[in-house]
Structures are given as structure tokens and as C-alpha cells.
Amino acid sequence: MNFNLPEEIKEFQKAVHKFAKERMAPRAEAIDAKAEFSRENWRDLSEMGLLGLPFPEEYGGTAASPLATTIAMESVARAGVDGGTTLAWGAHTILAGVPIWLLGSNRQKERYLPKLANGEWIGGFGLTEPDSGSDAASLRTTAEKKGDRYILNGSKMFITNGAVGDLFVVFAATDKKKGNRGISAFIVERGFAGFSVGEELNKMGNRTSTTTPLYFDNCEVPEENLLGQENMGFLSVGKETLEWERSCMIAPLVGGMEFVLEECTRYAKERKQFGSSIANFQAIQHKLADIKVAIEASRLLIYRVACMKARGQSAMMEASIAKLFVTESAVRVANEAVQIFGGYGYIHDYPVERFYRDVKLGTLGAGTSEVQKMIIAAEMLKRKGF
């Protein structure tokens, strides 16, 4: 087992971090205050070739490995870029792009991946509904085949990139009786008849990403927009996407913790109380040490999943372990970071305050912490020896 990153990945990591620090991070505070999706950040991600990272070159991507993709997402967040931007990027590249790349037809890949890779189109992923969150397979949206189209009826809730998205990978029941074996995935373009987007939700954090409901009122989806096999959407598209989501897409939390550690260390050295830098107090040093341990352990867990994905291995349990540990660690780290900053940590001008609001989503989205524990226990009990 070699824990050293290959030289070319280290170079890539450095270049992405430098670019994000110089170009994107300076916007973080202002766009968060305005709760505004940043087209400038989007152009920068596109210019750096980051929007289509894992897609093959023939479709406009960079053919980056899952590890390189994970490291890019970590590096952008480590530069201090806001959580909403990295969330929008993840929903676009990982949640919309990856399933089209891995399970799409040649026509779908040719039509959609180049537009996603260059940022001309923005993608999103619609699984959650108003009445089905953790129990996602109980969704109520239906898709009925009529001639050469599917007619979708129902709604989705909490969809990242809803207000700005041009296409969405959407899940709907094609055979209600079959439960999770009767759900299909579709690529729905914004302009399809019967599709509409609801009002933006006003969120606690990740405020530069847009979150909306989606509505399907006899929405007409051409049959060639069925993604993967009919009835297998939940088990193939959903499973593949969620493994990426629970590793690669949480990499910004690892980068964010590293950014926060740098901020805390600098502040602890500068801030004086009782005639000494607060960094000299053991209580503060313990917090810094706890943050460092959380970062190192989190990083190993997400890199492990990336390496398993590169080898084509299923990583259901490992991705859930990573997701659970990283997101819960990030919430604890955010809490300690605000504590180190004292009253200043509670004020908008300091990035630890933004991090505190942004990271909570980690324990909720892509399956809550309770759901990750259910998956880990179920996978463990299925494996030999338990």
C-alpha cells in the first residue's frame, strides 16, 4: 500500500488549488452574502477543465481518475471557495454527468456530455420528493410509456441547481408494483413540455447554490432519454451515482476542514488573551489537534473509495463509512473552529461562520447519517463472517 500521491496528481493538485485561490476564493464572502449563484465561478471551473473531469476526452472531458477528481474537488474547497459553488459543481459533474457517462447511450453521451463538460449546460439530479427522502424508493412520480415517449407526472423536492439547470437526471416509477425494481431514470431537458421549476428555497448554508422543487405535469420525455435500462434506474443509476456522491462529492468538506484549520492556526497565533497567544493554551492546541486528526482520517477514507472505484469495485459500504465519518467530522470541526475564534467566529466577516452554516448539509443530503449507519450495518451483516 503506497500512501504517496503520484507526481502528476500532486502537480494537478497544486495547479487547481492556486487557480481556485486566486480566481474563485476572493468572491466567496460577497456571493454568500447575496445568496447568488456565481456565473463567474462557473466560467472559472470550465476554464480550468474541472466541469467534465471524469468524462472521456472524446466527450470533452479530461478522463481524470476518480482519485484525481476527488483531489480537484478537495483542492478547490481548500482554497476557501464557498460550499454552494462546490455543491453546484458536484451536482452537475457527479450527479448528472457521471450517470450519463457510465450508463448513457452513445447518443446521450454525444448530446449531453460535451455541453456539461464546457459548462454551456448545467446539470442536476432529481431523486428526492416532498414525501420520499430517506425512503427514496417510495417515490410517487410516475412515468407512463405512450408511443415513443414517457409521460412523467409528479414532483421533486430540494433539487440542487434547480433554478439554473438545463438538464436533470430524474427518477420515476415505471412499474409501481415492483418497488425499487420498478423505477427508471430519465434525462429531462428544461425545455420539455410539462416541465417546470418551483420557487427557490431560502437555505441556512450553501447559499450560492440554488435549491428548488421540480414539477412534472404530463411532461413528455422522448423514449431515447431513458437512462440505462427500464425499471433498473434505482438499482443501477442510483447506486453508481450515490457511491460517487458519498466519496468524491464530500471531498470539498475535507478541503474545507483544511482551509478552516489554516484559518484557526493563524488566528490562534495572532489572538492574544491573558498576555499570551491563545495558541499557547492547551485547550486550544487540543482543538487544533482534533481538527488535524479529523482531516487526515477523512482524507484516507475518501481516497480509499476513489481507488476502489478506479478498480471497478463496488464500494457501497466504504462510501457510506466515508460519508458518515467525513460529514460528522466536518460538523464537529466547524463547531470547534467557531469556538477558537470566540465571538468573532459568530460574525459573517469570518469564513469559519460560513463553514459552520455550509457543512451541516453534509449529514443530511445524499442519505442522512442515520441512513449511512443503516447501509453500513446491512452491508456488514451481508458479508461473510458476520
**Which member of 116, 122, 159, 183 binds ligand FAD (CB under 6 A)?**
159
Report the alpha-carbon distance of residue 342 to residue 284 in Å, rounded. Answer: 11
Residue number closest to ligand FAD, CB atom? 133
Q: What share of the chain is helix, strand, coil (3-state, %, to 5)?
A: 60, 15, 25
**Least distance to ligand FAD from the beta carbon of 207, Å?**
10
**Which member of 235, 339, 368, 379 binds ligand FAD (CB under 6 A)?**
368
Q: Amino acid identity of 340?
A: I
Q: What is the b/e burial string over 361-371, where b = at least 16 CB atoms within 10 angstroms of the residue's CB? A: bbbebbbbbeb
> Does residue 213 touch ligand FAD according to CB under 6 A?
no
**Which member of 170, 294, 295, 366 binds ligand FAD (CB under 6 A)?**
366
Catalytic residue among 74, 245, 263, 353: 245
**Which member of 31, 71, 98, 127 binds ligand FAD (CB under 6 A)?**
127
* 245 belongs to the catalytic site: yes
Spatial CA neighbour of 143 closest among 213, 234, 212, 211: 234
**Least distance to ligand FAD from the beta carbon of 145, Å?**
23
**Which member of 83, 84, 97, 133 binds ligand FAD (CB under 6 A)?**
133
Report the alpha-carbon distance of residue 96 to residue 122 in Å, rounded. Answer: 9
Q: How far apart are the first and last CA of the chain?
A: 26
> Does residue 341 touch ligand FAD according to CB under 6 A?
no
Q: Residue 322 in contact with residue 305, Cβ under 8 Å?
A: yes
The piece of 46-54, 107-115, 128-136, 319-327 that touches ligand FAD (CB under 6 A) is 128-136
The piece of 27-35, 122-130, 264-272, 307-315 that touches ligand FAD (CB under 6 A) is 122-130
DSSP characters over 24-61: IGGGHHHHHHHT---HHHHHHHHHTT-TTTTS-GGGT-
User: Cα dist. 222→36, 148, 181, 226, 309 in Å?
Assistant: 33, 6, 21, 8, 31
Task: Tell me the HSE value of 338 on the side-chain side, using a 13 A CA sphere.
Answer: 16
The piece of 64-72, 74-82, 275-283, 362-370 that touches ligand FAD (CB under 6 A) is 362-370
**Which member of 160, 208, 210, 247 binds ligand FAD (CB under 6 A)?**
160
**Least distance to ligand FAD from the beta carbon of 66, Å?**
20
To 5 degrees, how large is the angle CA 318–CA 87–CA 164? 140
Q: Which residues bind ligand FAD (CB under 6 A)?
A: 91, 124-128, 133-134, 158-160, 203, 206, 211, 361, 364-368, 370-371
Catalytic center residues? 245
